[in-house]
Amino acid sequence: MNAPSAAPEASTAGAPPRAEGRPARGQRQFRELGVLLAVAILIFATWLYNPGFLSSQGVHDLFLGATVLSVLAVGQALVLITRNVDLSVGSVMGLSAFGTGILFVTFPGLPVPVVMLAGVLIGLVCGLLNGLLVTTARVPALVVTLGTLYAYRGLNHWWADGGQVNAHDMPDAFLLLGSFSVLGVPLPAAIAIAVVAAVGFYLARYRSGRELYAIGSNADAARLSGIPAARRVALAFAANGALAGLAGVLFAARYGTVDSTVGTGMELQVVAAAVVGGVAIAGGVGTVYGAALGAVLLTTITAALPIWQINQFWHQAVVGALILAAIGLDRLLALRTARKLRGGGARGA
């Protein structure tokens, strides 16, 4: 032995001179609170500027506007956490929205819930296909989903053949979904909130949810720990697809008119929302609460700019600046955490 085996124990109780702290969880919450605060300040300031912003109609619009984007952002967060990305969500959402509409046209007698479910299923299938391509072909998700972005969109164009589905083709019960409110909260928004809460709970409290973080954090280690990484990733893609499908259904219910271009360009907004909300592109970090809040922030900005009479052209610049700020902030916090953590390691004795 290179140590006297009667290892002296007495000293170990002495308080080591170190800064204690639990930066990890605290910091993450800090991030979500930050986004929430930004939303609150923006809404408050805009309201001061023009109280019409918070008229009941204004609130209603705000809720509805954020709904589709947050549902998509929640799904995207699932995928980003595993260190993948899904660029096809806009196309999947479009396909599901159009599919929902066309089902009403072709089978007018079909009950509304069945059609809605079918819309979600379309998304699920598209997402599962993405997942299987990524995990079996071992091609980076960026490339695969860039391909399916165009493939799904092309399919949609071919299916629609230049046509569109109008509101009068859809049953009133379905369209009512878009305007129905419970306690002042529009039903779609209530659905979105339920989705966020459910997925958030799943990610935090279930083994398979935590394993998504593990996979994104260190894929090799995940394999060594016996985590079925391919299956988990494929399912994350499938879930994301299903949520994109749900977003498509909600979109159809709200606007009533759908053609084959629904959701075009949506993918970048979705990724932006997730990143602003603290979900790291590099995987392993972030929550769906953050992603949803990011979506709310982006929507609020979109709604507030016209009230401030700021040219819409600035919109993209503002979003861009926000993303850079978010990434910069992350970097800064990461450095600070690293510094703190290095100080407060373990005491091996």
Partner 1 sequence: MDPAEVPPPLALVDVTKSFGSVRALRGLSLELRSGEIHAMVGENGAGKSTLVKVIAGVHRPDGGQVLVDGRPTEFAAPVDAQRAGVAVIYQEPTLFPDLSVAENIFVGRQPRTRLRTIDRGRMRRDTEEVFTRLGVHMDPDRPARGLSIADQQLVEIAKALTRQARVLVMDEPTAALSGVEAERLFTVARTLRDSGAALLFISHRFDEVFSLCDRITVVRDGAFVSCDPTTELDVDTVVRRMVGRDVSSLYPKEDAEHGETVLEVDGLTRHGVFADVSFEVRAGEIVALAGLVGAGRSEVIRAVFGVDRYDAGTVRVEGRPLPPGRPKAAMDAGVALVPEDRRQQGLVMESSIERNATATRRGPLSRLGLLRRRTERDSAREWGERLNLKFGGLTDSVSTLSGGNQQKVVLAKWLSTEPRVLFVDEPTRGIDVGTKAEVHRLLSTLAGQGLAIVMVSSELPEVLGMADRVLVMHEGRVTAELDRDEADEESVMYAATGQRPSEAA
Q: Interface with partner 1 includes 226 (CB under 8 A)? A: yes
Q: Interface with partner 1 includes 7 (CB under 8 A)? A: yes
Of the candidate residues 147, 171, 228, 256, the single one contacting partner 1 (CB under 8 A)? 228
| Minimum separation from the CB atom of position 220 to partner 1 (A) | 6
Selected range binding partner 1 among 14-22, 32-40, 190-198, 235-243, rule: CB under 8 A: 14-22
CB 113 within 8 A of CB 54: no
Q: Interface with partner 1 includes 138 (CB under 8 A)? A: no
| Minimum separation from the CB atom of position 331 to partner 1 (A) | 14
Q: Interface with partner 1 includes 105 (CB under 8 A)? A: no
Q: Interface with partner 1 includes 5 (CB under 8 A)? A: yes
User: Phi/psi zone of residue 283: left (φ > 0), alpha (ψ -120 to 50 degrees), beta?
Assistant: left
Q: Tokens 């071919």 correspond to what residue?
A: 158
CA atoms within 13 A on the CB side of 26: 6
Selected range binding partner 1 among 54-62, 271-279, 320-328, 339-347, rule: CB under 8 A: 339-347
Selected range binding partner 1 among 20-28, 97-105, 246-254, 318-326, rule: CB under 8 A: 20-28
Shorter beta-carbon distance to partner 1: residue 1 or 182:
1
| Residues facing residue 165 across a β-bridge | 258
Selected range binding partner 1 among 4-12, 51-59, 173-181, 235-243, rule: CB under 8 A: 4-12
Q: Which ranges in 53-140 belong to alpha helices (H)?
A: 56-81, 89-106, 112-137
Structure token digits, residue 186: 């529009």
CB 285 within 8 A of CB 203: no
Shorter beta-carbon distance to partner 1: residue 11 or 309:
11
Cβ partners under 8 Å of residue 82, min gap 6 = 212, 215, 216, 232, 233, 236, 283
Shorter beta-carbon distance to partner 1: residue 182 or 346:
346
CA distances from 77 to 199, 219, 234, 276, 291 (A): 10, 17, 14, 11, 6
Least Cα distance to 120 among 135, 100, 103, 104 occurs for 100
Of the candidate residues 227, 235, 236, 273, the single one contacting partner 1 (CB under 8 A)? 227
Shorter beta-carbon distance to partner 1: residue 161 or 220:
220
Of the candidate residues 55, 136, 225, 316, the single one contacting partner 1 (CB under 8 A)? 225
- x/- string (CB under 8 A) for partner 1, residues 257-296? ---------------------------xx-----------
How many Å apart are CA 172 and CA 170, to the nearest integer?
6
What part of residues 158-217 is at the interface with partner 1 (CB under 8 A)? 205-207, 210-211, 213-214, 216-217
Structure token digits, residue 193: 């909130």
Of the candidate residues 109, 162, 265, 348, the single one contacting partner 1 (CB under 8 A)? 348
Shorter beta-carbon distance to partner 1: residue 26 or 184:
26
Cβ partners under 8 Å of residue 226, min gap 6 = none
Cβ partners under 8 Å of residue 328, min gap 6 = none
Structure token digits, residue 241: 């697809």
Structure token digits, residue 297: 């922030």
Selected range binding partner 1 among 46-54, 157-165, 267-275, 334-342, rule: CB under 8 A: 334-342
How many Å apart are CA 336 and CA 331, to the nearest integer?
9
Q: Interface with partner 1 includes 349 (CB under 8 A)? A: yes
Q: Which residues bind partner 1 (CB under 8 A)?
A: 1-5, 7-8, 10-12, 14, 16-20, 22-25, 205-207, 210-211, 213-214, 216-218, 220-228, 284-285, 337-339, 341-349
